[in-house]
Amino acid sequence: MRKSFFSPLFIKRIKKFRSFKRGYYSLLIIGTAYLLSFFSEFIINGNALLVKFDGKFFVTLYNSVSLKKDIFSKSIKAREDYFEYKTSLAGDTLNSKNEKLLSLKSKHELYDRIKKDFDNHRTLKNILKEQKRGDWVLLAPYPYSPNENLLDEMGDKNPPTKPDGQHFLGTDDRGRDVFARLVYGFRIYMSFSLLLTLTSYTIGILFGAILGYYGGKVDFLGLRFIEIWASIPFLFTVMVISSIMIPNFTILVVILSLFYWISMARYIRAEFLREKSKDYVQAAMAIGVSDRRIILSHILPNSLTPVISFLPFTIISGIAILASLDFLGFGLPEPTPSWGQLLSQGISNLSSWWLTLSPMAAMFLTLILIAFIGEAVREALDPKIYSRMR
Amino acid sequence: MGKKQKNELLKVENLKTHFMIEEQKAKAVDGLDFHVFEGEFLGIVGESGSGKSVTALSILRLIPDPPGKISSGKVIFRGRDLLGLSWEEIRKIRGNEISMIFQEPMTSLNPVFTVGVQIMEPLMIHRNMNKKEARESAIQMLEKVGISSPELRVDDYPHQFSGGMNQRAMIAIALSCNPSLLIADEPTTALDVTVQAQILELMTEIKNKEKESAILLITHDLAVIAETCDRVMVMYGGKIQEVTSTINLFENPLHPYTKGLMDSIPSLTKKKKRLNAIPGNVPGILNLPPGCPFNPRCKHRMPVCEKSVPELLEVEKGHSVRCHLYNGEG
């Protein structure tokens, strides 16, 4: 007779967590938003999702190379056909009444027009619609890409333009849609922060565990190393590195992880110092468990208090640090959709309030929701609730 | 012991375990010689601080270093010196051929794992069992140590067990790989008397079933020794003071310290006698008196006691004692 996969205690804690409505709903919101953001290409995209052209289907979600090739070759063909026919009729004065010539001409002109504008799928859609040849373009519900320059469609307005029905949050100073940039930025910021937390915690936990478990000289040297390492001014280092080479997502995660692990290493070291002297560790040694297993599977699960209590704050600070680096211009390179970069645009265009307000609101919401989740997790794991003594 | 000559399973020679405490050397175990025969139930008895537990930990090399250090000696187990083995080799012996039971059952089990997982661990490490086999074995072990409905309790956490049940679980962990030597370091001290009796009964039962394996029982309770052991070793100040069979020890104690211990057992038969206690306290390990460590508390103190440490002498067959009283007479 086997009990359920999760221990009853775990189920109890899940229930407890769900009873904290604020945290539970925050988790639902953030979770859904983050999950949805992985499908944002289907929702917010200047590229059409699917194009039917001359009876053929083209999936243009990420790129429209095949569609372009098709249109290109067809336009060349139409042009050749037209001129070939025209020269074959050379000298004929009834040119203008030759039906075949006219149809070839109109086809040639249509393809030429499409060729001119096929990068912009919104225009392409209109052209194809006008032609009524059974071709169509399926656009995303919000048909603007985050990195797409919309200057051509603005008419006499100058970027940044105000929020309106087409652009929910207006456009930025380079004529890109702010809403699209915010949503794509959310995906990048959340992924960045989660990845940064994961890597820096892994380094910090392993380092701290080794220092705390082995103690003695290892501990002494390790602590001195931490002290020296921690005294490096990390923001400046990141700036220096970013100005030497153009950082990308991975490089930034690596650089920041190099500094972010320190505090976790200290906490885990302290936990290990306390836990390793407990009897169960000696008992585990006495049955021949290897050091690695004792560290990872015996002591570590008993030392996760700091991890649980600091996790939400680390995620929050990961988002904040990326925003500030982007703000200063040392973060992710252009044209990556970024909240910090939007903010810095807002500073230089103070009258365009939507440039400052929208990334601020997005950050505020994200950070406070994560903080609520963290609060609920801590409450759910707090054994005080179960104790009889109050 | 006379019936058949048994083989030595474990032989400890001149074991010295020292601790460096604030630049001073504390000689917790100082020149220990003893042996355990195959299938024997040997008891080590002594007051707190006499070096019993350190002896047990030294055998498995579980002394925390620093501050502790096994500075010399040999621990020969089945012809191999455990002190000379690599960590990898000693790890293969721990929990497999020699296993240990600790004093505090409530804290010696890891609170985050179920009891079953902890019994499965040595099986998976030493016997290369897969999870399913190990689980089956764990359930059998729990049944063997007398836990009812083991197939349900195997998924319980230590905090769902009582102290006695936890100690049974510890014994199950220790016995899971059929060790040839089981070291029990005060297994009953933290338990109440009825549970104590049950645990001791369980240990004797195991002893009777598994004729091969030897048990080294460490305790400060002479009653426990009387109930279970074949042979007893009395320790004081990090040294053996007297070794003999249990019956002999109770009938004919030779060392003044042993005599003192015997006198301080309350008796049901003798009436209205004030209980004799040994005067004074166990000397601090950092400032052991010169000569025989027991001399400041000894009734039969002689001038020589303060000058030199007596040798462990075999006074009669299978009965050795370390005291100047028996030095001259033999």
| Neighboring chain A residues of B173 at a CB cutoff of 8 Å | 283, 287
Find the range with the poorest average confidence among A218-222, A338-342, B232-236, B305-309: B305-309
**Residue A355 CA neighbour count, 13 Å, CB half:** 24
Mean pLDDT of B41-69: 84
CATH 1.10.3720.10-classified regions of chain A:
8-39+178-386
Best mutation target, A280, A281, A297, A302, to test chain B (most B CBs within 10 A):
A280
- Residue of chain A whose alpha carbon sits nearest to that of B101: A283
- Residue of chain B whose alpha carbon sits nearest to that of A7: B155
Reduced to 3 states (helix: H, G, I; strand: E, B; else coil), residue A117 is helix
Contact B70, B15 (CB under 8 A): yes
Q: Of A360, A376, A263, A250, whose CA–CA distance to A312 is shortest?
A: A376
Contact B181, B100 (CB under 8 A): no
Parallel, antiparallel, or unpaired: how do β-strands B181-185 and A50-53 relate?
unpaired
User: Which one of B99, B104, B113 has the shortest CB-CB distance to A287?
Assistant: B99
Residue given tokens 């373009």 in the structure block: A137
User: Which one of B125, B157, B170 has the shortest CB-CB distance to A289?
Assistant: B125
pLDDT digits (tens, 9 = 90+) for A167-201: 888 888 888 899 999 999 999 999 999 999 999 99
A345-374 core/surface letters (b: 16 or more CB in 10 A; e: else): bbeebeebebbbebbeebbeebbebbbbbb
- The C-alpha of A267 sits at a distance from chain B's nearest C-alpha, in angstroms, of 20
Residue given tokens 């019994």 in the structure block: B119
Q: Which residue has the higher pLDDT, A111 or A26?
A: A26
Interchain CB contact of B152 with A (< 8 Å): yes
- Residue of chain A whose alpha carbon sits nearest to that of B156: A7
pLDDT digits (tens, 9 = 90+) for B172-201: 888 888 888 889 888 888 778 888 888 888
pLDDT confidence band for A318 (50 / 70 / 90): very high
Q: Do B109 and A283 touch (CB under 8 A)?
A: yes
User: Which one of B91, B95, B104 has the shortest CB-CB distance to A279?
Assistant: B104
Q: Do A287 and B122 touch (CB under 8 A)?
A: yes
- Compute how many other C-beta atoms are within 10 angstroms of the C-beta atom of residue A223: 14
Interchain CB contact of B89 with A (< 8 Å): no
Mean pLDDT of B62-90: 84
| Neighboring chain A residues of B112 at a CB cutoff of 8 Å | 301-302
Give the strands of the sheet with B313-316, arranged side by side: B98-101, B181-185, B214-219, B41-45, B231-236, B239-245, B319-321, B313-316
pLDDT confidence band for A2 (50 / 70 / 90): very low
For residue B298, give the DSSP letter: -
Q: Do B100 and A7 touch (CB under 8 A)?
A: no
**Token pair of A177 as six digits:** 């849609």
Mean pLDDT of B255-277: 78
- CATH 3.20.20.70 for domain A8-39+178-386, yes or no, is no
- The C-alpha of A1 sits at a distance from chain B's nearest C-alpha, in angstroms, of 7
pLDDT at residue A5 is higher than 80: no
pLDDT at residue A33 is higher than 50: yes
- The C-alpha of A17 sits at a distance from chain B's nearest C-alpha, in angstroms, of 20
| Neighboring chain B residues of A283 at a CB cutoff of 8 Å | 100, 102, 108-110, 170, 173
pLDDT for the residue numbered A227:
94
Q: What are the beta bridge partners of residue B127?
A: none
pLDDT for the residue numbered B208:
81
Residue given tokens 């991975």 in the structure block: A250
pLDDT confidence band for A287 (50 / 70 / 90): confident
Reduced to 3 states (helix: H, G, I; strand: E, B; else coil), residue A49 is coil
Across chain A, where does the E strand assignment appear?
A: 50-53, 56-59, 136-138
pLDDT for the residue numbered A390:
43
- The C-alpha of A289 sits at a distance from chain B's nearest C-alpha, in angstroms, of 7
pLDDT digits (tens, 9 = 90+) for A75-113: 888 888 888 887 877 666 565 667 777 788 888 888 887
Q: What amino acid is encoded at B50 in this protein?
A: S
Interchain CB contact of B114 with A (< 8 Å): yes
Residue A296, judged by CB atoms within 10 A of its CB (0-12, 13-18, 19+), counts as: middle
| Neighboring chain B residues of A278 at a CB cutoff of 8 Å | 107
pLDDT for the residue numbered B300:
81
pLDDT for the residue numbered B297:
85
Name the percent of chain A lying above pLDDT 90: 33
Find the range with the poorest average confidence among A47-51, A338-342, A356-360, B324-328: B324-328
Parallel, antiparallel, or unpaired: how do β-strands B214-219 and B181-185 relate?
parallel
pLDDT at residue B92 is higher than 80: yes
pLDDT at residue A224 is higher than 50: yes
Domain ranges of chain B: 7-97+179-265, 110-176
Q: What amino acid is encoded at B155 in this protein?
A: D
Taking only Cα atoms into account, the Rg of chain B, rounded to an integer number of angstroms, comes to 21
CA–CA–CA angle A52, A54, A60 (5° rounding) = 35
pLDDT for the residue numbered B328:
60
Average predicted confidence (pLDDT) for chain A? 86
B243-253 core/surface letters (b: 16 or more CB in 10 A; e: else): bbbbebbbeeb
- Residue of chain B whose alpha carbon sits nearest to that of A276: B64
**Token pair of A100 as six digits:** 């075949």
- The C-alpha of B228 sits at a distance from chain A's nearest C-alpha, in angstroms, of 24
Interchain CB contact of B110 with A (< 8 Å): yes
* Alpha-carbon dihedral sign for residues B296, B302, B303, B306: negative
pLDDT at residue A276 is higher than 60: yes
Q: Do A282 and B62 touch (CB under 8 A)?
A: yes
pLDDT for the residue numbered B5:
55
Q: Do B102 and A283 touch (CB under 8 A)?
A: yes
pLDDT at residue A384 is higher than 70: no
| Neighboring chain B residues of A279 at a CB cutoff of 8 Å | 102-104, 107-108
Distance CA B153, CA B142 (A): 9
Interchain CB contact of B95 with A (< 8 Å): yes
pLDDT for the residue numbered A28:
95
pLDDT at residue A42 is higher than 70: yes
pLDDT confidence band for B1 (50 / 70 / 90): very low
What's the longest Cα–Cα distance across chain B? 67
Q: What amino acid is encoded at B165 in this protein?
A: M
Question: Which residues does A39 contact at the CB level (< 8 Å), separation at least 6?
Answer: none
CATH number of B7-97+179-265: 3.40.50.300
For residue A177, give the DSSP letter: B
| Neighboring chain B residues of A386 at a CB cutoff of 8 Å | none
Contact A307, A205 (CB under 8 A): yes
Residue A231, judged by CB atoms within 10 A of its CB (0-12, 13-18, 19+), counts as: exposed
Q: Which of A34-43, A115-124, A147-156, B266-275 has the highest mean predicted lDDT (pLDDT)?
A: A34-43
Q: Do B155 and A282 touch (CB under 8 A)?
A: no
* Window A:269-288, CB contacts with B under 8 Å: 278-280, 282-288
